Every structure is written in structure tokens, then in C-alpha cells.
Structure 1
Amino acid sequence: MRLAVFTKNLTNPAYGAARLGAERAAAVFGAEVLHFVPQKGDDPEAQSALIDEALALTPRPDAFVLSPVHASKVDPAIRRIAAAGIPMIGFVNPIQAAPSVAYVSSDDYQLALAIAQYLFRHLHGRGQVLVVTGPDESFTSLERLRGFREAALQYPGITIAGVIAGDYVRETARDRAVQWLCDHAELDACLVANDIMAMGVLDALDAAGRRAAVVGVNAIPQAVEAIGQGRMLATADFNAMQMAYLATECAVRHLRGETVPASIELPVQIVDRSNCQQWDRPYAQRPVITLEELRRQT
């Protein structure tokens, strides 16, 4: 069986890990994976064109494993998948325009709430904090920003000193953080919506000769290394590799006629210097669990 796997971009290491997760599951469960990735990251038009490209293949893929790049702008293309009678399994972001067999993700709001609370406790409830978000209309970014703001409400001594959009790109986050630092003298911490942007924020702090506590989301290898070195405080593990693995497994099992869970939500895990050794390895060497193993854990 052939599976069309759609990830959002080529720049975020988390999506490289997702593609690897799909391949690892396909190797175990006897499937072939075809990857479709927009050359321009998080581009709804490009992803829609790739969906049409996959639908035009002969033979067509047996299932689509899909992370939509936008909450609504890919909907017409998603409805074309449904019209073709091809089952869809969503991961990272939900598929809302048509029914999906299953959806695998983590709760972005809870992840953001947990990492923000961790940071604010580290600051003893007081400090000036810069928030770095993803793209303005990104589902994950909006949910993470909501979690950040909710956590800040719980700590009256925390001031959100600024909010900048890093667009989930290291260079964008770096450049905008450099400008923000030029305009603001006081900063205690940076609350960043993903790790690749956190790397850009660390670049900006280094260039300015300034220090601040930095936390992110994703647990990418670069962030884990920075945590081990003491350059970054912590991250929340948004395990896109595991999500894609389980989504691919769900696709295969559904095609075999087996019942799969309609929704799978991975737990929140905070990674800091006390436990980062568990994550301090390349993605290919990080463990993944199957549906059966997940069932035994819950």
C-alpha cells in the first residue's frame, strides 16, 4: 500500500522528524511512503497543488497522512481528497474540512501553558518576558500564544514586554529579536513558540552580548544540546516524529480493516537539564511506540 504524507515545510527540524517517523512506521508495517512538502514553507497554495499532484498519480495513494498548513485555506483541496474516497489521517493540526479516520497530536495550549509556567516559576514569578510566536494564522501558534497568555495571567509579577512573530523560522526570529533588543533595555526571559525560533533568539542574544532565560517547544536536537550546555532553560516535547509514526500506523491498520482510535493525544513532557539525556540523541535513535504499546500505557 502507498501512503501520501504531507508535512508543512523543509526548514523546521520537527517536520524532518515527522517524515522520518512516517518512514519508520512504514518500514515496520509494510507500506510505501510518498512525501509531499511545499518548497515555500507553510504555503496553502503550494500544499493544495501537492494534494492535486498526489490525486493525479496512477495508481492513487491508498491513504493521505496530512498536516494542513492552514486552518482553512487548504479546505478545497482536502474536500477533493474526500470526494475521491481516499481516507485521511491528520497529525499535528486537525483536518476540519472533511471527516478523517484518526487525528494524532499534542494539546498545543497545554504544552504552552506548561512550559510558560515552568519559566515563570524559574523567574520566581517576576520578570520582563519577550514572547516569540509563529505565523499569525497558524493553528499551533495561536494555541501556544493562548497558553502563554493564560500562564502570564496566573503570575501578576510577570510582564509580557513584547510579542514578535518569528514565523517558525530561525533567521526571522533572530532578525526580529535583534531589532527588539535594540529597542528595549530590560529583558529577563524569552518564551518562544518553537525551538528553531528559540535558536534564532539565542543567536540574537549572543550578538547583543545579553543573557536571558529561553524556553521553546519541540525538543529538537539543537535545543536539547543547548539545554545541556546551559544556554537554554527548557523545552516542551512536541513529538512530531511520534505523531507521524502513529498516524502512519493508523493509516495502515485502517486499510487492513482494523479499528483505530479516532483521536490520540500525546502527553506533555518538559525537557530540562535534569532529564535532557533522554532526548540527547539523533531522531533516528529516539524511541517510538506503537499503538499497542500506547494502549498498554494508558
Structure 2
Amino acid sequence: MKHGLKLASVALVVALAGCGTTATPPAAPGGGGGTGGAAEPAAGATVTYAPEEVVKPKDGKNLRIGVAFPVLDQFLQNVADGMQARAKEAGVTLTIVSAQEKTDVQLGQVENFISQGVDGIIILPQDTDAAQPMTDAVTAAKIPLVYVNRRPATLDPSVPYVGSDSKVAGQLQMEALAEQLGNKGNIAILQGDPSQEAAQMRTQGCKDVIAQHPEMKVIREQAGNWYRDKGLSITENWIQSGDQIDAICSNNDEMALGALEALRAAGKLDAVKVGGVDATKDALASMKNGQLDITVFQDAKGQGAGGVDSVIKKYNGDEVASFVNVPYELVTPENMAEYANK
């Protein structure tokens, strides 16, 4: 969820290319897969993402789907790539725009999609606490709507969310760090944007694990808003405070990489364990170099592909589960090679 390295473009019309990633959610028990006549998962249900056949418009129409991103950084660009590839397989056209992290701009972009009469809309909300006006506008226009990657704070079960359980990312990350510390020590938390569900729940997952260990405690917590430079400056301040920090639980890889820069400059790389989330290329390179201790793989391309499948299914009139869960996976130096090309 997250995410610091912005691309220069504010809006990007995608000429679809590349190979596809299959991501149709599996059917509920007793149901079918989503491309035939069998039963679909009911709204309100949760299903786990699994590869399956591409979903195509039943009427053969070349659908126009608008996609509203908050920003196109290193991670979210991978989500967009997954959407591009899946849309090419399905024979539909995407228009992807970036709000450059401005909530009002994103609302205006969604309203533009509505006025253009697109056949479906996918949203990755900038502010998960302020997504309701977009939901209301799209549903009032009777346009199929799917949220991806960032779950709105309030969302009707009839509107699908394709993404991951953010609390699990924090739990996986902190459990691994705790094991490396022998379940004791002082923990600092680098939080993403506090207005976003991913930052809130990843932080909570981290704290839930810490609470299970009497000899561990949170001594520092600060929002770096997903940015590497913020992770760097915050960690520099923590180091200058003189407090002993044994591990940094970062909500994403970008802030974790910034923290590592500060620790390296202070000669403390070996003294502090650092964990991130996303398993970006930069993070895996840092892990390979013996710096980053832990990260958590978030299947960006799977989320993107699942979002495209889900909005096409909504267009087809098929039921889509309320939550299509794309599971997180722990990445360590021992298994990092498996994630190099994902």
C-alpha cells in the first residue's frame, strides 16, 4: 500500500502491452470460477486470489475502463503493469490517471470518467477515510466499481475490494523481527500516511505482535508518509536522541531503505534490525547486500489483474466477492531469490 518514488506523469493513457497475470478469484464452495455459467461468490464473501482463466466481456464489447491511482510510484507502477497485461488479455482499454496524492484531484478525475461514460472504474484511493464521495458518485451513475490495493474505511459489500489484509503484513514482518531479536528489545515504527488504511493496519499488526512479548516495547513511532527521504530524516533524529533502538518496523520498503541509509551513516547497520513491506527491487537488492533484514511480498501484479477481472465481472452482471484477498508472503534472505522476478 505506499510508496515514495513518484513518476513525472500526472495522467497516463495506457496502450496495453505485455504478458498477462491471471487473477480471477476462485468460486465460493460449490460455485464456479467466473467465466462460465456456474455460481459466483456472493457479495459479502471473502475469497483468496488464485490464477484462473481471463475474464472477458460477455457481449464482446471493447470496454473502456477508467483507473484512478493516487500516485504512480515504484510499487503502484507494478500494480498498473498488472492491470495493463490483464486488460490486453481481456481485450479491454484502460485509461490510467494519477492524482499526485491530491484527494480533490482524484475526485475530479473520477467525475471525469463518469462524464465520459466509461464502462467501469477502478480506484486506488488517495485517502481511504475520504473515499465515500467517489463511491457515491460512481454507484449513482450505475457504473461498475472496484477498489484495489487500498481499502476505503467504509465500503458497501456490493463494491468489491481487491487487495491484501494490511494487518497481516505488519504481523508477518514483526514476528520475523521479534524472532531475530530473541523476543526482546526496543522497537521503532515508521508509519506510512496515517490517513490510509494500509498504514493504520500495518502499524496495528506490528503492535499486536509486540504486545505478545513482555520484553519488547515501542519507544518511537512517526509517520514518514511512505517516502524514503522521510524514513532517512526520521531515523537520523531517532539516532541523535540517543535512545537504544533494536529494530525498526517500517510500513513499506521505501521508508525502510531510508532508515538503512541513516543507520549506515551512523555506523549502526549491524546494531539495528530493519523490516519493510512490498519486496520491491530496491528492497531485494538491499537484502542481497546484507542490509535489509525482512520484507513482505505484496503481489502488485496480482492485485492489478484481479481488479481488472473483477470490474469486467461486474460489467457482465456476475457477482464478485466483497474482498478478493491477495495474500502477503514473508521474504527473508533465505527465500528472496523466489521473488526476484515477481
Structure 2 length as normaliser, TM-score?
0.77
- Are 1:23 and 2:81 matched, yes or no? no
Whether 1:62 aligns to 2:62 is no
SS at 1:21 equivalent: helix
1:158, 1:98 → 2: CA distance? Answer: 38
> Of residues 63, 75, 91 in structure 2, which corresponds to 1:14?
75
State the 1:238 CA deviation: 2.0
1:87 and 2:144 aligned: yes
Q: In the aligned structure 1, how far is the partner of 2:320 from the partner of 2:135?
A: 21
Change (3 A) 1:53 1:207: farther
Q: Secondary structure of the equivalent of 2:95?
A: strand
1:156 shift after superposition: 1.2
Quote how far apart the aligned CAs of 1:82 are.
1.2
Matches within 5 A, 1:87-236: 87-95=144-152, 96=154, 100-211=158-269, 212-236=272-296
Partner of 1:291: none
- What secondary structure is seen at the aligned counterpart in 2 of 1:217? coil
Deviations 1:73-115 (A, max 9, x none): 2322321111111110111223435564422111111221121
CA shift at 1:184, angstroms?
2.4
- Give the AA of the match of 2:110: I
- 2:303 alignment partner in structure 1: 243
2:111 counterpart of 1:49: no
Contact 2:170–2:251 (8 Å) recurs in 1: yes
How far 1:261 sits from its partner (Å)? 3.2
Secondary structure at 2:161 match in 1: strand
Instruction: Give the counterpart letter for 2:104 in structure 1.
Output: E
Name which of 78, 87, 96 aligns with 1:35.
96
Greater per-residue helix proportion: 1
- Picking from 265, 271, 276, the partner of 2:336 is 276
**Cα distance change on mapping 1:233 and 1:48 into 2, 3 Å:** same
Conserved in 2, the CA contact under 8 Å of 1:128 and 1:189? Answer: yes
**More displaced stretch, 71-80 vs 144-153:** 71-80
Residues 98 and 179 of structure 1, relative CA distance in 2, 3 Å threshold: same
> How many angstroms does 1:239 deviate by?
1.9
Matched AA of 2:79: A
Q: Secondary structure at the match of 2:194?
A: coil
* Structure of greater relative contact order (alpha carbons < 8 Å, 6+ residues apart): 2
Q: Is the 8 A contact 1:6 1:37 kept in 2?
A: yes
Counterpart residue type for residue 98 of structure 2: V
The residue type equivalent to 1:187 in the other structure is: I
After TM superposition, give the deviation of residue 258 of structure 1 in Å.
Answer: 4.1
Change (3 A) 1:180 1:79: same
**Uncovered stretches (5+) of structure 2, i.e. residues with no partner:** 1-62
Q: In the alignment, which residue of structure 1 is the partner of 2:11?
A: none
Q: Tell me what 1:265 maps to.
A: 325
2:12 counterpart residue number: none
Structure 2 counterpart of 1:178, which letter?
E
Contact 2:122/2:311, CA 8 A, preserved across alignment = yes
Question: What secondary structure does 2:138 align onto?
Answer: helix
Q: CA separation in 2, counterparts of 1:114 and 1:261?
A: 25
Bigger drift between 256-265 and 271-280 goes to 256-265
Q: Which runs of 5+ in 1 are unaligned?
A: 287-298
Shift of 1:205: 1.2
**Which residue does the alignment assign to 1:74?**
131
